[in-house]
Amino acid sequence: MTIEQFWVNLLCAFLATILGGGFLTLLFFWLREIVFPLPDITGRWYLEMHTVNSAYNPYKDMDLRYIAMLWREGNRIEGTVEKIFEKTSQREKSYEGKNRTRGSVAGFIEKNYFTKDRIILHVIEDGHGRESTHFYELTFNTKEYMTGSFSSMVAQQDGNVKWQRSEF
C-alpha cells in the first residue's frame, strides 16, 4: 500500500464515521422526541384518593378529592393542588372557595421505554391546623388517566389513587 492509498483510506474511514455518527444522532433524537416522548401531563387534573390503611380508624375507607394544576419542565413536575371533597365514615363534605386547603406539588417523570412511564409526586398541603405531606407513585396510562398508590403522613394513611382529566 502506498502512502497515497493510506491517506485515501484514512479519509474515507473518517468520513464514514462522521456520517454514521450524525445519522445515529438524528435517529436517536427522532426516537426520543417523536416515538417515545415524555408524557404530556401539563394542565388540570382531578384526583381521588381512597384510604386503605390508617392509624386513625375513622379515616379507613375515606375518599378525598383534589383538583391539581401541573406543569412540566423537562422531566421535572411542579404544580398546585386544592382539596375539593372529603368523605369519611362520619361525614361527607365539599369544599368551595376559601374553605379549600391548598398545597404545592414537586416531582419528576421516570421515562421507561419498555413499560409505562412512572410519575413520582410529593405534595405539601397546608391543611386545617397543620401542614401534611402526601407521596404519590403513579403510572401514566393514557393522556387522560393515571393510577397508582399514595402514602400520607396524616394518620399514617396509604391507599390507591387515580388521576383523570375530567371531573369525578
Domain ranges of the chain: 1-37, 43-164
Q: Does the pLDDT of residue 34 top 90, yes or no?
A: no
pLDDT at residue 60 is higher than 80: yes
Please name the amino acid found at residue 114: F
Burial degree of 81 (CB within 10 A; 0-12, 13-18, 19+): buried
Bridge partners for 57 per DSSP: none
Whole-model pTM: value is: 0.83
pLDDT tens-digit map of 69-100? 999 999 999 999 999 999 998 889 999 988 89
CATH code reported for the domain at 43-164: 2.40.128.120
pLDDT category of residue 33 using cuts at 50, 70 and 90: confident
Kindly report the length of the chain.
168
Burial class (CB in 10 A: 0-12, 13-18, 19+), 151: middle
Burial of 17 (0-12, 13-18, 19+ CB in 10 A): exposed
